[in-house]
Structure 1
Amino acid sequence: MTAARVGVFGLLGSGNLGNDGSLEAVLAYLRAEHPEAVVDALCGGPEAVAARYGIPATRLHWYRGEYRTASRAGAIAAKGLGKVVDAVRTAAWVRRHDVVIVPGMGVLEATLPLRPWGFPYALFLLCASGRLLRTRVALVGVGADAIHNRPTRALVRWSAGLATYRSYRDDLSRDALRAMGVNTARDKVYPDLAFALPTPRGSAPSGSVCVGVMDFHGGNDDRARAEEIHRRYLDGTTRFVRALVEDGRRVRLLTGDACDAPVVAAILDAVDSPLVTAPEVASLVDLMKEMAAADTVVATRYHNLVCALKVGAPTLALSYAAKSDALMDRMGLAAYCHPAREVDADRLLEQFRELEKRSAELRQTLTERNLAATRQLDDQFHELTATLLPANNRPRQEAA
């Protein structure tokens, strides 16, 4: 038996802690169940992935300025050439593998600003190459949502249709793919992959409040009013933090992506209190450690919510997309969602106080829901072995 050649693909190592957390969960599964597998990555931040996870990594795009706006003729030409070069590079990388896994992430959605010829095109190249070269491509625990931009929707639909295996992190995602014309009859829904990460050892709540912030400008359909949405979000969140400080509460500002730093700086400058601090976090495990020590969490980014819920912290979501509402409902906290586009500091404070009154009850609910999530993700990984790596699993099964 030869070792399976497994590739992982996505915007990994690019500063988004949620994406990297999904990668960590899949790598832990592969190392535990398929230690003989040879793993490498095609990703956004190859240097970071190679250094942190110890696997070879290749840059996703030939043109390094792929996600910068091109205004000059030279940059536009380089981007255009990059699309052609990436088609050849992606096919050559896919050809070297038996299986390619896209670990979690919202790869089939456009809830944040997204151009069709960026990542949607890259994902299409991957899935088309897999089909042409007979390499199994698996979209594992991914997120999806309704997409109104026609080119983006077409690329997402084609990509999903060409994949060998699909599973989703919520029913909303599967329903969205079905509405776009993809046959999802055999696709399954499991909790987000980050729920498979180890939970840090618990510590007694310290009386602090974790507030997870985001450089939020609305979604793909909100480009015309992006700055207005951002100002409202920042103003409402700042007023909420100031109200907590006036009550004598200690606040820890947390992020989930490198791009969130300006929001943290703006709040620190506006509130200007020693009660407000911003610890550095480098992974979802770091986030979970912070949240495990908090009395309560208020967060915007999806994977900030996942971390808070996983450690059993009473959580209030500043919801920017339907996926946040679906996650909160799944974990029994549907009543504690507040729209990120229209942050009303007074109403948010009311919800926060109600949440704290029910803290003990909600912690018990989260304990039960987390146990169920762990069992479901065990099923997910068993299914991956049976579907994607059956030949490599046969000697182990026979020995057992």
Structure 2
Amino acid sequence: MRVGVFGLLGSGNLGNDGSLEAVLGHLRADHPEAVVDALCGGPEVVAARYGIPATRLHWYRGEYRTASRAGAIAGKGVGKLVDVFRTAAWVRRHDVVIVPGMGVLEATLPLRPWGFPYALFLLCASGRLLRTRVALVGVGAAAIGDRPTRALVRWSARLAAYRSYRDAPSRDAMREMGVDTARDEVYPDLAFALPTPSAGAPSTSSGGGPVCVGVMDFHGGNDDRARAEEIHRRYLDGTTRFVRALVEDGRPVRLVTGDECDATVVAAILDAVDSPLATAAKAASLADLMKEMAAADAVVATRYHNLVCALKVGVPTLALSYAAKSDTLMAERGLGAYCHPAREVDADRLLEQFRDLERRSAELRRTLAERNRAAAERLQHQFTALATALFPAAAHAHALRETP
């Protein structure tokens, strides 16, 4: 069985790579005979880190840089045409292509239709034409206002042979955009299938233990471009005030990120706070993030997969939420009351919520342990359903072995 994995993988986003790692773990455990390779954003990283052959997603190397000169604009235009044939040729070599997790059906962060939405459409259209099954596994989706982007996303979903979502609002969004979701299922985010490091014991000192703060180079969403700099300034100012207040209380603060672009925010906060109690972590994977968070008494985080990591290790968490997916995730884990708007960070109000979170720490840890056990069971159902849909012969042989 020839299996391809597809997406903005190896491009610096730890959440995307964590979803890939979860799917590769499943394939290696349950389908060791499968031959796997990738069409992705960072082929060198994927090949080195995961040991699979990888091909660059776009022919034009400057795809995600702003094109201002005539040569760059022409290069992008030619690249769009070349990618039609490159994508089809790659798809033809596979029996199955998996898009592992990621928010591939949403535009909650700035996104242009001719970027990844176009690439995803080429993949799904090639799969349908060449009879290669394309599976969108545990993906995120959201209502999209921009018409070209919405059309590409809708047709990509319609052309896929298999779809599942990481939350119910994602499925609802695709239904509202005209996709028949009657057979589509909802499962926990794929990152919940990764191995979990042990959560540390909460601090018993009177001053409180370490706090992990996940930051983001946040400028709003796709519809906030006119206010992007204002949103970023408010986010940075509010988050910096919050970190400074923790440090002034004697709390060690560990800053973490989820994407390479977040490093500028970390540097700005450290420079403004200027305290040895505020330090930055260097995480190369979701496993690294989980280890950092497991050592904390509490987590305050923005990026979706920062939240996933904190919840997975069972640490009380407060979300600086920028999209419905974060609110939904927190509600599913029993922490719906601990969401704070990332677009309007109010440091004083955030401190109040944080102190309430810590007062309920023991209770919330028990709740998270229960919810995480349920999530693990649901993900086993996800992989079983995926095997049935994509590897029917292997699933049938497995069923025969299991029959007494």
Distance 1:310 1:377 in 2: 13
Q: Which among 12, 15, 20 is matched to residue 12 of structure 2?
A: 15
Give the equivalent residue in structure 1 for 2:366.
364
Give the equivalent residue in structure 1 for 2:319.
317
Distance 1:113 1:148 in 2: 12
Distance 1:74 1:308 in 2: 45
Q: Deviations over 1:165-197 (max 9, x none)?
A: 000000010000000000001100000000000
Give the equivalent residue in structure 2 for 1:299.
301
Give the equivalent residue in structure 2 for 1:398.
400
Give the equivalent residue in structure 1 for 2:198.
201
Q: Which amino acid aligns with 1:95?
A: R
Equivalent position SS for 1:117: coil
Please state if 1:221 is matched with 2:223: yes
Give the equivalent residue in structure 2 for 1:51.
48
1:104 Cα shift?
Answer: 0.2
1:226 Cα shift?
Answer: 0.1
Give the equivalent residue in structure 2 for 1:88.
85
Give the equivalent residue in structure 1 for 2:351.
349
Equivalent position SS for 1:220: coil
Q: Which among 252, 267, 271 is matched to residue 269 of structure 1?
A: 271
Give the equivalent residue in structure 1 for 2:67.
70
1:396 Cα shift?
Answer: 3.9
Distance 1:260 1:237 in 2: 13
Q: Which among 55, 60, 72 is matched to residue 57 of structure 2?
A: 60
CA contact (8 A) 2:198 2:313 kept: no
Q: Which amino acid aligns with 1:292?
A: A
Distance 2:394 2:45 in 1: 29
CA contact (8 A) 2:96 2:390 kept: yes
Distance 1:144 1:300 in 2: 18
Please state if 1:113 is matched with 2:115: no
Equivalent position SS for 2:224: helix
Q: Which amino acid aligns with 2:64?
A: Y
CA contact (8 A) 1:145 1:173 kept: yes
1:395 Cα shift?
Answer: 3.6
Equivalent position SS for 1:128: helix
Distance 1:396 1:314 in 2: 39
Distance 2:349 2:192 in 1: 30
1:157 Cα shift?
Answer: 0.2
1:308 Cα shift?
Answer: 0.3
Map 1:137-216 to 2 at 5 A: 137-205=134-202, 207-216=209-218
Gaps of at least 5 residues in structure 2 are 204-208
1:398 Cα shift?
Answer: 3.3
Q: Which amino acid aligns with 2:184?
A: D
Gaps of at least 5 residues in structure 1 are none
Q: Deviations over 1:119-174 (max 9, x none)?
A: 00000000000000000000000000010000000000000000000000000100
Give the equivalent residue in structure 2 for 1:102.
99
Q: Which amino acid aligns with 1:8?
A: V
Q: TM-score, normalised by structure 2?
A: 0.97
Give the equivalent residue in structure 2 for 1:243.
245
CA contact (8 A) 1:209 1:252 kept: yes
1:263 Cα shift?
Answer: 0.0
Report percent identity of matched pairs.
83
CA contact (8 A) 1:212 1:255 kept: yes
Give the equivalent residue in structure 1 for 2:333.
331
1:392 Cα shift?
Answer: 3.0
Distance 1:171 1:65 in 2: 35
Q: Deviations over 1:12-42 (max 9, x none)?
A: 0000000000000000000000000000000
**Equivalences, count:** 397
Give the equivalent residue in structure 1 for 2:206.
none
Equivalent position SS for 1:221: coil
1:282 Cα shift?
Answer: 0.4
Distance 2:314 2:401 in 1: 39
Equivalent position SS for 2:134: strand
CA contact (8 A) 2:199 2:314 kept: no
Please state if 1:5 is matched with 2:2: yes
Equivalent position SS for 1:244: helix
Equivalent position SS for 2:128: helix
1:391 Cα shift?
Answer: 1.5
Give the equivalent residue in structure 2 for 1:389.
391
Q: Deviations over 1:295-318 (max 9, x none)?
A: 000000000000000000000000
CA contact (8 A) 1:205 1:292 kept: no
Please state if 1:129 is matched with 2:126: yes
1:109 Cα shift?
Answer: 0.2
1:279 Cα shift?
Answer: 1.4
